Structure 1
Amino acid sequence: MENAIRDIFEQKDIMRIAASRYEINPDELTYIGGFQNFVYEYQRSGELYILRITPGMHRTAEQVRAELDWIIYLTGNGISASGPILSEDGNWTEVIETPEMCFIAACFDKAHGNRIGYPECLNDNATYEELGRITGKMHVLAKRYDNPDASVRRHDWNLNYYLQNIDILPPSHHHVRETYYSITETIHKFPKDREAYGLIHGDMGFGNFHVSDQGKITLFDFDEAQYSWFVEDIAIQLYYLVYVYGGEEGRDHREEQALRFMDHFMKGYSRENTLEPYWLKQIPVFLKLRELIVYIGAYRNFDGDESFSSSDNQWFKDWISESRERLEHNEPIVNVW
């Protein structure tokens, strides 16, 4: 979270105001993190719930409402996902105004099951196949989804917050900027037919779903939902399974991981949806797009040190160095197509 937003959030006591709108005792809220939102967990009648507060600088109230409409549609059509909860006044969202910006609060059921972390997720072929199935089903539903309120709509892929704010990067990143223009120019040329383009989850990494003991996946955190090509939903999942491998030996590990993930993922995906081979061959382009977005996000609280020497996370420092080199050379993190 940007430091300026955090300062406003704390000074205006936004968490307590949001809690009151949902009749939550603020002392019972536990902060559990959030990259672009403030996310809390609480318990009521033995069940766990999530309170999420979104800065208006990142999302408009209409965009958050569109996200919730999408989730309600999916859960009503057989997708297991963390659903929204009405506020005390019967609203899906509560908007809290301040002179500087607004904040949008929403509550959700907490997803059942458990998160699979690293390194366990790197060898979970059964989950890859189930991810493929639920992704394929979601894409089929996206083809039929029409929000009746045109004013409540999620953004298109090119309006991603970090793509819109590439100037977060230091001036020295002129080669990365050149790659940004090259990637976006290429993607803008892709056709947007209904079989390939629609509303996607947009961030289906292993941190954004839980898995039950029976292997059932429950999705959550649709905050990055956007209109894009369905193949981007696949590329994003793959990216977070290969970017952990760095160094000289990393390339071979990334290729093996990519081939294995895609084999099991597509077995599940093809049971629900069909994607033309042309689109699978575009995965390297969308892998570059995801790396660019993640890379820009790493600089949002940049303090002037491009080596991030003050960080005690060696993996992060190695990744950001290797990521910059790939982006400057316009190369995907892995290419097995």
Structure 2
Amino acid sequence: MIKITDNARKELCEKLSIDDATLTFLGGGREDSDGTVFTYNEDSKKKVLKILAFSEDEKDKLQNLILRIKYANFLGENGIQIAYPLCNSNGNLFETSHDQNHYYAAYLMDYCDGKNPESSELTDELVYEWGKLTGKSHSITKSFQEKIEESKLGYEEELNFFTNWCKDTEIKTAWNQMHAVIKSFPRSKDDYGFIHNDNHQRNILVSGHDITLIDFDCSCRQFFVQDIITPAQGIMFDITGGMLSPFKEEERLKRFFDSFINGYETKNHLSDFWYQQIPLFLNYRRMLLFTCMQDWINTEPELKKNFKENILNPPKFQL
């Protein structure tokens, strides 16, 4: 990621009426991070400041971020339990800064208590509530769909991005084949629209019985079923298999999906067609994670071999 300069941080803090000296580093700032996050106190309440940077030739990324900020705020203002950008003292959802080489954007959120659950902590009850929260967000997003600005945040742009990024010839071919299948799928407000699009357990906070959805920096127009598939990736890595290796506890994964979908369907309905596509979209997720981790995977030949085998010959799975 692009380093946030001291001058940019101080300028943004001044625009936001925050004393820069009171900031406490919370996270991010790494090579694989999308931004840097700080906390500070305002009127005895803990707040979060997130700052992101973009190069001069990445104005489209800045515009995409602005749309994602508006989307997350829309969900939060409509009662979805998420960490979402708030209007600042200027009445804006974000502030920007610019120097010779980079654009910077900053937004504020309330601090949310909770912790990321481990795979072993994903009980049927918790997964059911996670499904309800996801279903409710999809129900609400149907209203946002009509107000969306033009952007490059759709399923085709995501497919093209990962196909172009992928260095492995066989997996790149699999991406092209995936695109050929998915482009024929129906896209209506009942099954396609703005979603979180990275709805895994590291992007939820659990506090008691409450679940808060966080980090909307991958949100885009996608098939709703993607937000049902992604939650399972953690237990597939850690417990059930099916991601890097054949299934070890397939029934456990089925139970996970049963709990999640039962919760989801209390707030939003998807037709059976989409639940029948779960095996396909599970492979989409395998391909996406393989591509994201490809540089590291190339240093682990045995793991790469097994991962590719699971993608090119996906293990059978049916709810």
**TM-score relative to the length of structure 1:** 0.80
The answer to whether the aligner puts 1:231 opposite 2:225 as a matched pair is yes
**Identity among equivalent pairs (%):** 21
Q: Using the alignment, how far apart are the partners of 1:249 and 1:60 within structure 2?
A: 32
Residue 138 of structure 1 aligns with an amino acid whose one-letter code is: S
Relative to 1, partners in 2 of residues 1:178 and 1:131: Cα closer, same or farther, differing over 3 Å? Answer: same
Relative to 1, partners in 2 of residues 1:13 and 1:241: Cα closer, same or farther, differing over 3 Å? Answer: farther
Instruction: Please name the residue that 1:260 is paired with.
Output: 255
Relative to 1, partners in 2 of residues 1:198 and 1:252: Cα closer, same or farther, differing over 3 Å? Answer: same
Relative to 1, partners in 2 of residues 1:102 and 1:147: Cα closer, same or farther, differing over 3 Å? Answer: farther
Aligned counterpart for 1:282 among listed residues 253, 277, 285: 277
The answer to whether the aligner puts 1:138 opposite 2:160 as a matched pair is no
SS of equivalent to 2:115: coil
The answer to whether the aligner puts 1:331 opposite 2:314 as a matched pair is yes
Relative to 1, partners in 2 of residues 1:85 and 1:177: Cα closer, same or farther, differing over 3 Å? Answer: same
Q: Using the alignment, how far apart are the partners of 2:164 and 2:222 within structure 1?
A: 23
Relative to 1, partners in 2 of residues 1:271 and 1:168: Cα closer, same or farther, differing over 3 Å? Answer: closer
Q: Using the alignment, how far apart are the partners of 1:336 and 1:85 within structure 2?
A: 42
Shift of 1:227: 0.7
Q: Using the alignment, how far apart are the partners of 1:50 and 1:203 within structure 2?
A: 20
Q: Using the alignment, how far apart are the partners of 1:58 and 1:253 within structure 2?
A: 45
Q: Using the alignment, how far apart are the partners of 1:248 and 1:174 within structure 2?
A: 20
Stretch of structure 1 that moved more, 136-145 or 176-185: 136-145
SS of equivalent to 1:40: strand
- State whether residues 32 and 41 of structure 1, in contact with CA within 8 Å, keep that contact through their aligned partners in structure 2: yes
SS of equivalent to 1:92: coil
1:229-259 deviation line (CA, Å, top 9, x unaligned): 1111101112233123559995343523321
1:42-121 alignment, distance < 5 Å: 42-44=39-41, 45-56=43-54, 57=58, 60-112=61-113, 114-121=114-121
- State whether residues 200 and 225 of structure 1, in contact with CA within 8 Å, keep that contact through their aligned partners in structure 2: yes
Instruction: Please name the residue that 2:127 is paired with.
Output: 128
SS of equivalent to 2:283: helix
Stretch of structure 1 that moved more, 21-30 or 194-203: 21-30
Aligned length: 311
The answer to whether the aligner puts 1:217 opposite 2:206 as a matched pair is no
1:35-55 deviation line (CA, Å, top 9, x unaligned): 441232313044332222233
The answer to whether the aligner puts 1:177 opposite 2:172 as a matched pair is yes
SS of equivalent to 1:235: helix
SS of equivalent to 2:225: helix
- State whether residues 237 and 244 of structure 2, in contact with CA within 8 Å, keep that contact through their aligned partners in structure 1: no
Shift of 1:149: 5.9
Uncovered stretches (5+) of structure 2, i.e. residues with no partner: none
Q: Using the alignment, how far apart are the partners of 1:220 and 1:296 within structure 2?
A: 23
SS of equivalent to 1:194: coil
Q: Using the alignment, how far apart are the partners of 2:175 and 2:309 within structure 1?
A: 14
The answer to whether the aligner puts 1:40 opposite 2:22 as a matched pair is no
Residue 202 of structure 2 aligns with an amino acid whose one-letter code is: G
Relative to 1, partners in 2 of residues 1:290 and 1:49: Cα closer, same or farther, differing over 3 Å? Answer: farther
Uncovered stretches (5+) of structure 1, i.e. residues with no partner: 309-316
Shift of 1:223: 1.0
Residue 336 of structure 1 aligns with an amino acid whose one-letter code is: Q
Q: CA RMSD in A?
A: 3.0
Shift of 1:184: 1.5
SS of equivalent to 1:60: helix
SS of equivalent to 1:78: coil
- State whether residues 30 and 42 of structure 1, in contact with CA within 8 Å, keep that contact through their aligned partners in structure 2: yes
1:97-135 deviation line (CA, Å, top 9, x unaligned): 2443423222211223x12332433x4211100011111
Relative to 1, partners in 2 of residues 1:24 and 1:40: Cα closer, same or farther, differing over 3 Å? Answer: farther
SS of equivalent to 1:243: helix
- State whether residues 154 and 225 of structure 1, in contact with CA within 8 Å, keep that contact through their aligned partners in structure 2: no
SS of equivalent to 1:257: helix
Relative to 1, partners in 2 of residues 1:249 and 1:43: Cα closer, same or farther, differing over 3 Å? Answer: closer
SS of equivalent to 1:239: helix
Instruction: Please name the residue that 2:298 is paired with.
Output: 306
Relative to 1, partners in 2 of residues 1:169 and 1:144: Cα closer, same or farther, differing over 3 Å? Answer: closer
Relative to 1, partners in 2 of residues 1:262 and 1:60: Cα closer, same or farther, differing over 3 Å? Answer: same
- State whether residues 244 and 310 of structure 2, in contact with CA within 8 Å, keep that contact through their aligned partners in structure 1: no
- State whether residues 69 and 85 of structure 2, in contact with CA within 8 Å, keep that contact through their aligned partners in structure 1: yes
**TM-score relative to the length of structure 2:** 0.84
SS of equivalent to 1:278: helix
Relative to 1, partners in 2 of residues 1:248 and 1:90: Cα closer, same or farther, differing over 3 Å? Answer: closer
